[in-house]
Structure 1
């Protein structure tokens, strides 16, 4: 029996947009401090800085009062956590897991592809946070000009059951996936819908859900009648998304893209700019956010549909990484998000006109031609990239028998006491 991934729109949800670390971190830390039964957290980046230390403190506090706490970080995004940083959590009872850690080769990280890029927090199966904000001081204004502009959403309501089920299966199941029988049982026991936003939790993996996030974008873009507003840090989408954006502009939809003007990775900006001429010729409006690095992955269509999540519109997110977005149908939320993005456009963006977009030299035209056809074929080519089955390593608490008090470490350390866990999709 094959269902449509049994991921249905759920009505009756309460949503709050959280912009940047100033709004996100206090709400997450407050929720963890109030947790009664369980905290499930996944993040791409966790650093040993002011933010990481505060997160560590509230996680330890939750574990010490008997809350089940499971933390999963990506081995590429969080490669240098000190041994004692992790040991303090595992000693308190936190289950600390590392997705696909790998030793460095000549000082370089080798686990480049198929990263755990999701940013999820689920509290007591009642409250969830979904977005693009990592646990790092880089998401606070105090970090300076390189502080990142980003978004997350806090959600309560029926869709949290889907987020919790997914996060639980990622931790507990031998092969994390979507159990449609369990999902149907859950649906049968749901309470009647109450007023609130409709939402669906959408993920991308390398098995059954390879294009789910992209498909939701495509459906929304094709249905657009008035306005499409996308803010995406690393904009280098596939051929189909580019085609549908151009078609929308051609049929009179106002298509606006906000991209990086102060890039944290200059190569990403160069790649995006190879697409500008083609998009501008079809009437797409392009803005570059110039106040600080844009790290957001959000979109609004007709101020009725919106998405907030971890997925960039680039080959890594759309074809390789493990991602998670919340897709929302709610006029109030979409209007609010559109208003926040419009503030960026009005105050801090450079508007690219067709004549000034990029060089029109023969070299640029040749590069643009190659880039366009690369994007058209990349989903098929991605299968040639390293496709080992990534493992999740559980970091064991330091041994009380060790006279040196060796706290262990990440799995690239020869003294690390990790045990291999289940493979991820």
Structure 2
């Protein structure tokens, strides 16, 4: 489309619109829900058809949160199915990140808005000298809930670079489809984030349940939603990882796009390997950011010497954020293991206790590591030039401290604001 991009036009309208509640800052903690059907969706080839079909079948409501929508064949199909659903009378709220969706044209958004889709932009900001400045504290979640009965959550954005026919830069990624009682929690959470009324959680539903990660049961189909925000739940996702690592007995497999966690999480990974747990990391071998690769490689010697196995996926960029522990626990979501995801961005993962799901995920990751990865070792770890190692060392320690430093700086509070296709009118 030839319309001006989002940050040049509709942000001017947004600036006159009063902000509604900030998403993510909600004092709710969700517990385990049993008797769910969960299915792993690998890459856009599996994900997009299922999501678009669910939207086509929607009868009452669609809630969508995403970091990125591009105006390519995937974004155009998303627009088409949302407009058709809105014209059938389905109530739709789409919450889009102002940075990740910053290049969407006003024409694209206006077509949705005029059809009846309620569009909300998280922390929009205009460009300065052609550069977007709203880099941090992003809405990084990827959630779709349809009719309160089916939910999708994971790391896949609405963009054609999640399809293999995109070429060498096509991303390797994962999402999960959930049906069952856990959808009620994901639906409740999504309603709260988009500012719609949601039934209050009673005190026994809000109780702290972090210790439950230490107890593994024989029951399949259990799902729990975890999220991080900049309010009551700033460390929940990291704490879950640390707890399951401490309780791991046989195997741990982590596949993550951006890997430079804090010292405590690194220590739990190392300690698990010291106990004899089979610990494998699948990381980016072809990253989209050189700094990410340099920082991750600064952890290699520390982990390899402790017995951790590290694989670099080199076929194409790895964008996944998944992990499994032993034979029944898994997680899929939007959270990387880096300072932005663990300390600044709004993220959401699902935890899954299901042996069949765990086995499916393990088999796919095992195929990835055995057939599409380069095995790293202490004596063969690429160190590059001295200046690469120096830069990597500085980047790693800067990123490790960055969230704390960012907290000292004065900053505006991010807001979720309604899109307006005409000045002074709200959607």
Q: TM-score with structure 1 length normalisation?
A: 0.86
Rounded Cα–Cα distance in structure 2 between residues aligned with 1:272 and 1:344: 19
Residue by residue over 1:229-258, the C-alpha shift from the partner in whole angstroms, topping out at 9 and shown as x without a partner, is 000000011111101001111111111100
Rounded Cα–Cα distance in structure 2 between residues aligned with 1:203 and 1:179: 18
Instruction: Give the Å deviation of 1:9.
Output: 0.7
> Is 1:352 aligned to residue 380 of structure 2?
no
What residue in structure 2 maps to residue 102 of structure 1? Answer: 125
Rounded Cα–Cα distance in structure 2 between residues aligned with 1:291 and 1:109: 30
> Is 1:211 aligned to residue 235 of structure 2?
yes
> Is 1:20 aligned to residue 43 of structure 2?
yes
Instruction: Give the Å deviation of 1:387.
Output: 3.6
Between 324-333 and 354-363, the greater mean CA deviation after superposition: 354-363
Report matched runs for 1:223-262 at 5 Å: 223-262=247-286
Instruction: Give the Å deviation of 1:275.
Output: 1.1
Between 87-96 and 367-376, the greater mean CA deviation after superposition: 367-376
Q: Is the 8 A contact 2:30 2:205 kept in 1?
A: no
Q: Let me know the Cα RMSD of the aligned residues.
A: 2.4
> Is 1:311 aligned to residue 339 of structure 2?
no
Structure 1 SS opposite 2:375: strand
**Aligned with residue 306 of structure 2, among 254, 278, 282:** 282
**Cα distance, 1:147–1:9 mapped onto 2, change above 3 Å:** same
Q: TM-score with structure 2 length normalisation?
A: 0.86
What residue in structure 2 maps to residue 404 of structure 1? Answer: none
**Cα distance, 1:161–1:107 mapped onto 2, change above 3 Å:** same
Instruction: Give the Å deviation of 1:368.
Output: 6.8
Structure 2 unaligned residues grouped into runs of 5+: 1-25, 207-218
> Is 1:320 aligned to residue 341 of structure 2?
no
**Cα distance, 1:245–1:196 mapped onto 2, change above 3 Å:** closer
Q: Is the 8 A contact 1:395 1:417 kept in 2?
A: no
Rounded Cα–Cα distance in structure 1 between residues aligned with 2:109 and 2:388: 48
Instruction: Give the Å deviation of 1:374.
Output: 4.9
**Cα distance, 1:183–1:67 mapped onto 2, change above 3 Å:** farther
> Is 1:129 aligned to residue 147 of structure 2?
no
**Cα distance, 1:142–1:386 mapped onto 2, change above 3 Å:** farther
Structure 1 unaligned residues grouped into runs of 5+: 186-194, 399-407, 409-415
Structure 2 SS opposite 1:355: coil
> Is 1:197 aligned to residue 211 of structure 2?
no
Structure 1 SS opposite 2:119: strand
**Cα distance, 1:68–1:371 mapped onto 2, change above 3 Å:** same
**Cα distance, 1:249–1:118 mapped onto 2, change above 3 Å:** same
**Aligned with residue 185 of structure 2, among 143, 162, 172:** 162
Instruction: Give the Å deviation of 1:375.
Output: 6.0
Residue by residue over 1:355-377, the C-alpha shift from the partner in whole angstroms, topping out at 9 and shown as x without a partner, is 01133988777667656655664
Residue by residue over 1:264-307, the C-alpha shift from the partner in whole angstroms, topping out at 9 and shown as x without a partner, is 12221111111111111111111000110000000011121100
Instruction: Give the Å deviation of 1:83.
Output: 1.6
Rounded Cα–Cα distance in structure 2 between residues aligned with 1:76 and 1:337: 31
Rounded Cα–Cα distance in structure 1 between residues aligned with 2:200 and 2:262: 29
**Cα distance, 1:352–1:182 mapped onto 2, change above 3 Å:** same
Q: Is the 8 A contact 1:393 1:418 kept in 2?
A: no
Rounded Cα–Cα distance in structure 2 between residues aligned with 1:372 and 1:264: 17
Instruction: Give the Å deviation of 1:137.
Output: 0.3
What residue in structure 2 maps to residue 32 of structure 1? Answer: 55
> Is 1:140 aligned to residue 163 of structure 2?
yes
Rounded Cα–Cα distance in structure 1 between residues aligned with 2:316 and 2:180: 34
Rounded Cα–Cα distance in structure 2 between residues aligned with 1:360 and 1:391: 42
Q: After the TM superposition, list the runs of 4 or more consecutive aligned residues in structure 1 that deviate by more than 2 angstroms.
A: 3-6, 178-185, 358-382, 384-387, 416-419
Structure 1 SS opposite 2:183: helix
> Is 1:181 aligned to residue 202 of structure 2?
yes
Rounded Cα–Cα distance in structure 2 between residues aligned with 1:121 and 1:148: 20
**Cα distance, 1:180–1:50 mapped onto 2, change above 3 Å:** same
Structure 2 SS opposite 1:52: helix
Q: Is the 8 A contact 1:113 1:386 kept in 2?
A: no
Equivalenced residue count is: 390
